[in-house]
Amino acid sequence: KIAIFWFRRDLRVNDNAGLYHALKSGFKVLPIFIFDKNILDKLEDKDDARITFIYQEIEKLKTQIQKHNSSLLVKYGKPDDVWANILSDYEVRAVYTNHDYEPYATERDESLNQYFSKKDIPFYTFKDQVIFEKSEIVKDDGDPYVVFTPYKKKWLAKLKDFYIKPYPTEKYLTEFIPVKSFDLPTLKSLGFEKSTQHFPDKEFKNVLKNYGVDRDYPAKDATSRLSVHLRFGTVSIRNLVKVAQKEKSDVWLSELIWRDFYFSIIYHFPHSAKDSFRKEYDQIKWRNNEKEFEAWCHGKTGYPIVDAGMRQLNETGFMHNRIRMVVASFLTKHLLIDWRWGERYFARKLLDYELSSNVGGWQWAAGSGVDAAPYFRIFNPYEQVKKFDKDHKYIKEWVPEYADPFTYPQPMVDHKFARERCLDTYKEALK
Ligand code: FAD
């Protein structure tokens, strides 16, 4: 008779809410991870770096758990099938996991909940990846916030030490079930190859002192680069909020609050993962020119700041936040390509890809989202260079041919012309 703890996007033993509750349940705990076939089948690249990242983190988790005479059971398949197998192999008395707010995960968990309840197995789920979830921060009348500033104000007012206290899992690690080591399926058996991509360090970079000023300059290594770790839960959000408080970095804390905000938006408005949050923006007559989209993807637009960003993304799986805004504005406004195309490309390439923040960022740029940039605010790529990369350091790092004006291509579309075309098209749709 055992309890199961199901690791998902919380790939750490320390300060893990659901794991803590499982270990305290009174049952011995079997930890598991499922490589979800439904998700893996959708990935286009066989060397998808995120799978390598997860795989490495799973190996580390397994080693860590094995120090406590237990192991991590790793399965590959559709969750329904995997669970049917597990329940026939073990006498499971309870299942523990942490919340996941994405539409696919919410549906999966609801259907599993019904399945478990038919078998009289309680399914306990916990808040772990955010500070405040679901309807914890809503307006006084109970409606969700769709503007960031009042959301943030309430978030800060509600924050008490209680919400960032770590879960002391380390005290209960003897509660893992004693088993011999389980075999780990190989990457190949999952249909993937090892990626050669470099992953940012999990150790906290001391960037907070100048973060408020430096974070907008892409040539400076001035942001935490923790996004991939937050994405897969290899760091604890509670701990990071504590760091932000200790270092008195309100600006950085604000970014962590944006993350909570976008999770709450996807929870309350799951349709906004696919449709424009503001419906009238789905009237826009996108040009959706495939050749132009290709040029954007490959960083061949003739706008050096856009090209640098796209090449950084293609080569490293990361793009600086300021440049994400610039390339997203360029695709949706200069080229009039549907924000969903850009969102999908980012989803394929970003190591830190997170549905809620990605859709949020894209709809912010397109003007169609919550608290979005007004549609008539169209980033001027030349001005962005002047302000944020005036020595062209970032551009030259990613676009070496920029140094030679004869080989660097002409802009694929004239800025003034594109600006007018965009304003006309948006006005037509929104009238
Ligand atoms: P830091 O500046 O050190 O910030 C710390 C953490 O705060 C980040 O790791 C992230 O978790 C969170 N954060 C920072 N900025 C934002 C923001 N604007 N919205 C939500 N959370 C934020 N972030 C993702 O994690 N995944 C995405 O798929 C994603 N897609 C984006 C798409 C577009 C078009 C835009 C404009 C932004 C997107 N962002 C996304 C937000 C932001 O660009 C990244 O979180 C940030 O660049 C990650 O770098 P960092 O870890 O060094 O961030």
The domain of 357 spans 279-430
CATH number at residue 55: 3.40.50.620
CB neighbourhood size of 136 (10 A): 15
Token reading at 165:
């206290």
CA of 431 to the centre of ligand 1 (A): 33
β-sheet bridge partners, residue 76: 35
ipTM of the complex: 0.99
The reply to whether 85 belongs to the active site is no
By alpha-carbon position, which residue is closest to atom 37 of ligand 1?
Answer: 361
By alpha-carbon position, which residue is closest to atom 29 of ligand 1?
Answer: 358
Number of structural domains found in the chain:
3
pLDDT values of the chain reduced to their tens digit, one per residue, 431 residues: 999 999 999 999 999 999 999 999 999 999 999 999 999 999 999 999 999 999 999 999 999 999 999 999 999 999 999 999 999 999 999 999 999 999 999 999 999 999 999 999 999 999 999 999 999 999 999 999 999 999 999 999 999 999 999 999 999 999 999 999 999 999 999 999 999 999 999 998 889 999 999 999 999 999 999 999 999 999 999 999 999 999 999 999 999 999 999 999 999 999 999 999 999 999 999 999 999 999 999 999 999 999 999 999 999 999 999 999 999 999 999 999 999 999 999 999 999 999 999 999 999 999 999 988 788 999 999 999 999 999 999 999 999 999 887 889 999 999 999 999 999 999 999 98
Answer whether residue 181 is part of any domain: no
pTM of the model: 0.98
CA of 353 to the centre of ligand 1 (A): 9
CA of residue 249 relative to chain centroid, distance: 22
Query: Do 76 and 138 belong together in one domain?
Result: no
Query: Do 140 and 124 belong together in one domain?
Result: no
Catalytic choice (83, 296, 341, 362)? 362
Are 72 and 101 within 8 A, CB to CB? no
Answer whether residue 256 is part of any domain: yes
Are 18 and 125 within 8 A, CB to CB? yes
CA of 214 to the centre of ligand 1 (A): 15
Strand order of the sheet with strand 92-98?
73-77, 28-36, 2-7, 92-98, 123-126
Q: Rounded to whole angstroms, how far apart are CA atoms 115 and 75?
A: 19
Query: Do 116 and 155 belong together in one domain?
Result: no
Answer whether residue 46 is part of any domain: yes
Query: Do 326 and 425 belong together in one domain?
Result: yes
Query: Do 425 and 283 belong together in one domain?
Result: yes
CA of 260 to the centre of ligand 1 (A): 11
Mutate to test the pocket of ligand 1, among 321, 332, 359, 394 (most ligand atoms within 8 A of CB): 321
Q: Rounded to whole angstroms, how far apart are CA atoms 326 and 329?
A: 5
Pairing of strands 92-98, 2-7: parallel
Answer whether residue 174 is part of any domain: no
Query: Do 145 and 15 belong together in one domain?
Result: no
